[in-house]
Structure 1
């Protein structure tokens, strides 16, 4: 998964072919967006749907500039690249802007809705989290819904879904940079936003000053295949941590056996309370539904700490804890994905390489997750991806690479590979006991990001002290309070 506006010297702007500050300011209008209390500036940039046909169908790319507070601000803005693929950078502003508070003192923060998300030619499908549990467990129903969504999206004025790739989107991003009159920008990307950042570096290396990528999804990472491998490793770590923690091992002595028995019992008819509607429903609990309910909490060590209890309860026939903690993951409306954009990216960039993926499927997760993509991508339109997209060249700009040691989707192995390819200008920091997203979890790493971007020169940036992150503990396993015991103590 933000960018900014600044002033350039007139001569330098002319030499670079950039837009002059006055022109950039004219392109922006005062506005307000949900989640930010102060007035910001909104802009819209018309872009060709197909870059090869500049006179053809146009789409509007929407962006927001959160102006720097200081009167004498720095010239290079910070562009935040949202995750997913499918998140709207503008809609996640309430969640991400607190991470940029210090940077926003002297730098504009820019949020661009990538094409296919937010207000930029959105490609949205129904949010399945609010469907009845019976529909959520019905794979054929979901496929039918996606086919219907695909049909609706194709009828849109911008419905040629081949033109929503990361490569084209980063050309939009550079057009916003040019419109704002910025010669160089700082990039901060998380999750899929790291892939977007790496692609921007590949296409526009001279326009990049500093880069922070958190939870790295490199372009050579085949997403559906790697998820199985990495999900399994993260889940096994949860079980191992419980077995090594005396209180957890005592509370859930048969956790591993309970998990195996639960999977072996599926599919089966069950009754449970819907975590969002509160209604009791009867439905068929399927293996992929259970794996999905486990996969979500693995993103956050705090939510993952509830898994031993939830799995133990599910093995006893009580499924509400497992379904409930999964509903907490990504429950904010701002973090919802535009699934049409999501499939347009993954089906073009990852799916064609599935057959040659080298990641071995996880023991429990197997290929359950990737089977969805097998079926969807067999019908979804696919854009062209240049072969150079999948390579990472040495970066001319310093890159701070962040990984959580127990991340279930972008663990350190991917960050390490990216850092090695990016060369001596990249430094890789692995934070212990952190899941998906370091900046949003470890406060001192936000300070590290600030010092990295604000460093006077590249050498100083790469000497960043990140020792503050070494002692992060893993949350202990959750254990419900025994009210009868507490009453007896009183």
Structure 2
């Protein structure tokens, strides 16, 4: 799952599992066994997906130059694929999904098909994927000789029948409460906001669309795209939430997978989707935040924020208290601070920029922090805004699975977690609380398992990942028989295949180019640590 956090609102991406060393903190609502009615519904949706794929195979895609406002220059081409809104009714209402592609750079004989990408979210757009070729990204040079690079906006995202839960202007401009509550009144205010947001999703998106915003439907959409591309089998690369989409696709359509790489893996256990996932994510974020603080302390000569983790944490708390008392520059309060600073535990590429802004603030330069963390007032275009990404995130996670409806449970679980893991806990709780009062039927998650025809899946994961903790990769590895797990030990950046680490890069290339996997799982040393 790509990090789709808008600068003005704290988002915690909901694809996560428990740290290997952590015990389960609070029980999610257990997914019930599938009833006869639900199995019948799944059968109808499976038949509907087959109908839609057959129709798409005949129609193909009318590839054209991309619209100018999509900012995807030639030779990238764009088009649309029509899919049923509801796969149980394949001849009913159709919606359009935006797709794009760039052809393989090698010869016709070298071509091995289409490589389709999902960056995560839920709510992330994959349309930038072909730019890895036009930008001549060296990590993908050999793979691009063999594959067309294909991206798409999942249903509800961007140019694919976008959904909304609140006016984008209000989403950006509305003042944000401190995520950490000081009182029961603060909690009541946050609960009110969550209820209003859930109601807004229904009002602005409509019941018909909202109740079909699920990962299984996106997986069915992916299979229709496969057919429209003229491919009998798909090659797939999914990151973050995209790994859960891949796991569901591999379960529903195992015989349609040619090769699949999943990078930074969501724990697909049905009991983990999605309430438990977010609780476990809080633990992992706190751990990775401490890793970053240790690095900042080690580089005190550059940042002057303290020579120990405790000293750096004291500076963070000092900054947070100042922003709470008087928003910095009039616009950066605790919520905006956290939205900016949480990129450090997400991505190693953010370590230096975040530490630099942090350091400048204590050196007397507050403008750098305002520039980095203030709400982006231009981010209000409905179909490509952070509001749209947030709406899709909420709609998919809330509709995918049963969530607790008891506020006492949410309060008890998050109060206990916050005592030990305070960095993200309450912000993550408020982000997901609309699911407690969700206005459409919540589904039972797919039971991810190996199916007939599924080839070896390549799983790539760092051990200290905050957004999708390591246990998720272990769990999927156990569920997908014959898969191979590449572990980047003592590293924690989210999204491993995009980083320079020859131990990983060479195996990704070998798998995609020849189908080759190691005889056993592999542990790699970490990629290079950022330098100030």
Calculate the TM-score normalised by the size of structure 1.
0.75
Which residue of structure 1 lines up, in the alignment, with residue 158 of structure 2?
118
SS state of the match for residue 402, structure 1? Answer: strand
Instruction: Give the deviation of 1:81 after TM superposition.
Output: 1.6
Select the structure of larger CA radius of gyration: 1
CA distance in 2, matches of 1:390, 1:465: 24
Within 5 Å, give how 1:126-205 maps onto structure 2: 131=172, 135-137=175-177, 147=196, 151=200, 154-156=203-205, 160-205=209-254
Which residue of structure 1 lines up, in the alignment, with residue 461 of structure 2?
403
Instruction: Give the deviation of 1:401 after TM superposition.
Output: 1.3
Tell which has more relative contact order, 1 or 2 (C-alpha 8 A, sep 6+): 2
Given that 1:343 and 1:377 are in contact with CA atoms closer than 8 Å, whether structure 2 keeps it comes out as yes
Kindly tell me: are residues 418 and 466 of structure 1, through their superposed partners in 2, closer, same or farther at Cα, counting changes over 3 Å?
A: closer
Given that 2:56 and 2:225 are in contact with CA atoms closer than 8 Å, whether structure 1 keeps it comes out as no
Within 5 Å, give how 1:23-102 maps onto structure 2: 23=58, 25=60, 27-32=61-66, 34=70, 36-69=72-105, 70-72=107-109, 74=111, 76-91=113-128, 93-94=130-131, 98=137, 100-102=140-142
Where in structure 1 are there 5+ consecutive unaligned residues? 2-15, 274-280, 479-490
Where in structure 2 are there 5+ consecutive unaligned residues? 2-49, 180-188
Given that 1:215 and 1:415 are in contact with CA atoms closer than 8 Å, whether structure 2 keeps it comes out as yes
Instruction: Give the deviation of 1:147 after TM superposition.
Output: 3.9
Kindly tell me: are residues 374 and 83 of structure 1, through their superposed partners in 2, closer, same or farther at Cα, counting changes over 3 Å?
A: closer
SS state of the match for residue 480, structure 2? Answer: helix
Kindly tell me: are residues 246 and 183 of structure 1, through their superposed partners in 2, closer, same or farther at Cα, counting changes over 3 Å?
A: same
CA distance in 2, matches of 1:112, 1:363: 36
RMSD after superposition:
4.3
CA distance in 2, matches of 1:231, 1:141: 22
CA distance in 2, matches of 1:167, 1:454: 29
Kindly tell me: are residues 159 and 73 of structure 1, through their superposed partners in 2, closer, same or farther at Cα, counting changes over 3 Å?
A: farther
CA distance in 2, matches of 1:386, 1:117: 23
Given that 2:114 and 2:149 are in contact with CA atoms closer than 8 Å, whether structure 1 keeps it comes out as yes
Which residue of structure 1 lines up, in the alignment, with residue 340 of structure 2?
293
Instruction: Give the deviation of 1:191 after TM superposition.
Output: 1.0
Kindly tell me: are residues 465 and 252 of structure 1, through their superposed partners in 2, closer, same or farther at Cα, counting changes over 3 Å?
A: same
Instruction: Give the deviation of 1:43 after TM superposition.
Output: 3.5
Q: Does 1:235 align with 2:297?
A: no
SS state of the match for residue 511, structure 2? Answer: helix
Given that 1:233 and 1:408 are in contact with CA atoms closer than 8 Å, whether structure 2 keeps it comes out as yes
Instruction: Give the deviation of 1:465 after TM superposition.
Output: 10
Kindly tell me: are residues 471 and 406 of structure 1, through their superposed partners in 2, closer, same or farther at Cα, counting changes over 3 Å?
A: closer
Instruction: Give the deviation of 1:58 after TM superposition.
Output: 2.2
Which residue of structure 2 lines up, in the alignment, with residue 437 of structure 1?
495
CA distance in 2, matches of 1:39, 1:149: 41
Given that 1:402 and 1:431 are in contact with CA atoms closer than 8 Å, whether structure 2 keeps it comes out as no
Given that 1:198 and 1:218 are in contact with CA atoms closer than 8 Å, whether structure 2 keeps it comes out as no
Aligned length: 446
Kindly tell me: are residues 347 and 430 of structure 1, through their superposed partners in 2, closer, same or farther at Cα, counting changes over 3 Å?
A: same
Q: 1:314-341 deviations in whole A, cap 9, x for unaligned?
A: 6788655555555799x99979562221
Within 5 Å, give how 1:74-473 maps onto structure 2: 74=111, 76-91=113-128, 93-94=130-131, 98=137, 100-124=140-164, 131=172, 135-137=175-177, 147=196, 151=200, 154-156=203-205, 160-220=209-269, 221=272, 222-244=276-298, 247=301, 252-253=306-307, 256-257=310-311, 259-260=313-314, 262-263=316-317, 266=321, 268-273=324-329, 281=330, 285-286=333-334, 288-307=335-354, 310-311=357-358, 320=367, 325=372, 336=386, 338-349=389-400, 352=403, 362-365=420-423, 367-387=425-445, 389-393=446-450, 396-430=454-488, 432-442=490-500, 444=502, 445-455=504-514, 457=515, 460-463=516-519, 470=525, 472-473=527-528
